[in-house]
Amino acid sequence: MSVDLNSNFFELFSLPAGFEIDNSALSESYRVLQREFHPDRFANADSTSRRQAMQMSAHINEAFETLKNPLLLSRYLLELQGISMNQETDTTSDAGFLMQQMEFREQMDDVENQPDPLEAADQLRDAVQSENASLLQQFRSEYEQNNYDAARQTWLKLQFYDRLLEQLSLLEARLEDELLN
């Protein structure tokens, strides 16, 4: 029973390192590893084996979630290249991008004042997802060209869209709840 907790996530799942992930191969490797290292399989083992199984299972889960999520994957790829990332303090200084973010936030604040708030939220989500997809393509291109500083700047922008999409999901859920009540 052993998974190298220091192995990179791509090695763990026997995948080539890069932005393009074979999701079916990832899922299959995940299932195999989870079956092999699931803590329930070690319920009757000694405490050291149980603890190791828990650590391995947690490592496998973290790796799977990271490789599945484009924002987490982007960050992880940069970290593998030695690019330090601080999600809490690093931010972009691109004035045009920041203005666009302010406009999106103003539109989100105005959603409830629209004749059909859910439709307005849906249209805003489409616009944000479109911008996010463009940035993901930009990141991929920069990363594949080993332009890691530019890829880092793009990742900083992707964070904004990720947060905005989360907030939009919360807003949509609240609007749907209000419609049902």
Segment 74-91, tens digit of pLDDT: 999 999 999 987 767 788
The confidence band for 131, taking pLDDT boundaries of 50, 70 and 90, is very high
**Token duo for residue 141:** 């291109």
pTM for the whole structure = 0.86
SS (H, E, C) the chain: CCCCCCCCHHHHCCCCCCCCCCHHHHHHHHHHHHHHHCHHHHCCCCHHHHHHHHHHHHHHHHHHHHHHCHHHHHHHHHHHCCCCCCCCCCCCCCHHHHHHHHHHHHHHHHHHHCCCHHHHHHHHHHHHHHHHHHHHHHHHHHHHCCCHHHHHHHHHHHHHHHHHHHHHHHHHHHHHHHHHC
Domains and CATH numbers, the chain: 9-68 (1.10.287.110), 95-180 (1.20.1280.20)
- pLDDT of 126 > 90? The answer is yes
pLDDT of residue 4: 67
- pLDDT of 3 > 80? The answer is no
pLDDT of residue 135: 98
- pLDDT of 118 > 90? The answer is yes
- pLDDT of 1 > 60? The answer is no
- Percentage, residues of the chain above pLDDT 90: 75
